Chain A
Amino acid sequence: GAVVSQHPSWVICKSGTSVKIECRSLDFQATTMFWYRQFPKQSLMLMATSNEGSKATYEQGVEKDKFLINHASLTLSTLTVTSAHPEDSSFYICSAMGPGGTYSYNEQFFGPGTRLTVL
């Protein structure tokens, strides 16, 4: 199956700093990528949909100025958590929609996730 990578796999930062997380589709081109966050023992919550070459679409309640998304190429999307605070500590997961077909039938391939801890 298609492979999606994330980097870094974990990061610890001080409060007030910014952190960038990369999501790459390794063996296919992904026009659409998704960013999720997951708190312990909870399911994934969609934060935003990232389309190559256009602005991301954010879910209600997600601050677009705090969570900056850039999808500059067909294989790379980045999520930057700006001025991170302890409450931003979470597990961030990206996914990429598989090639071809329509959204409904394309499987999403998930990255391995990035554990962010803000001190």
Chain B
Amino acid sequence: KNQVEQSPQSLIILEGKNCTLQCNYTVSPFSNLRWYKQDTGRGPVSLTIMTFSENTKSNGRYTATLDADTKQSSLHITASQLSDSASYICVVVTRRALTFGSGTRLQVQP
């Protein structure tokens, strides 16, 4: 069964600190992996998209890594800001479907 598991479920950090979110998947055949940021009451916004051959991709303070062999991905947030408070969703794409993780709820406190 195709699954995407994210950890932790929730995370509280202080402003300015770094954090890393994890995503493990069993989806196959793998096409690409995406990280989205979803603010409360809003639709998801794409942060990164990585294909099989890409190990790392950055978007500003967000850096995603992918290990296709172990089927793991991570999203690292550097120098967190209050505006980073949101849910972060890992999505693994096959040829025919998207499989969503349940997300990590991040709260950045001043």
Contact = CB atoms under 8 A, between A and B. Distances in A.
A110 B38 CA distance: 10
A100 interface: no
B102 A42 contact: yes
A113 B93 contact: no
Interface in A52-81: none
A48 B78 CA distance: 36
Interface residues of B, number: 24
A4 B96 CA distance: 22
A27 to B, nearest CB: 16
Interface in A97-111: 103-105, 107-111
A112 interface: yes
A93 B32 contact: no
B95 A107 contact: no
Interface string B48-90: 0101000000000000000000000000000000000000010
Interface in B25-49: 31-32, 34, 36, 41-46, 49
A67 to B, nearest CB: 18
Given A107-B46, A107-B49, A43 B103 contact: yes
Which of B42, B43, B49 has most chain A Cβ within 10 Å? B43
Interface of A: 1, 4, 6, 41-46, 91, 93, 95, 103-105, 107-113, 115
24 contacts: A1-B46, A4-B43, A43-B100, A43-B101, A44-B100, A46-B97, A46-B98, A91-B41, A95-B43, A103-B96, A104-B31, A104-B93, A105-B31, A105-B32, A105-B51, A107-B34, A107-B49, A108-B98, A109-B46, A111-B43, A112-B42, A113-B41, A113-B42, A113-B43
Given A43-B89, A103-B95, A108-B98, 16 more contacts: A6-B43, A42-B102, A43-B102, A43-B103, A44-B100, A46-B97, A91-B41, A95-B43, A103-B96, A104-B32, A104-B94, A105-B31, A110-B36, A112-B43, A113-B42, A113-B43
List 10 A-B pairs, minimum CB-CB distance, nearest first. Answer: A110-B43, A104-B31, A43-B100, A43-B102, A110-B44, A113-B43, A112-B43, A93-B43, A111-B43, A104-B95
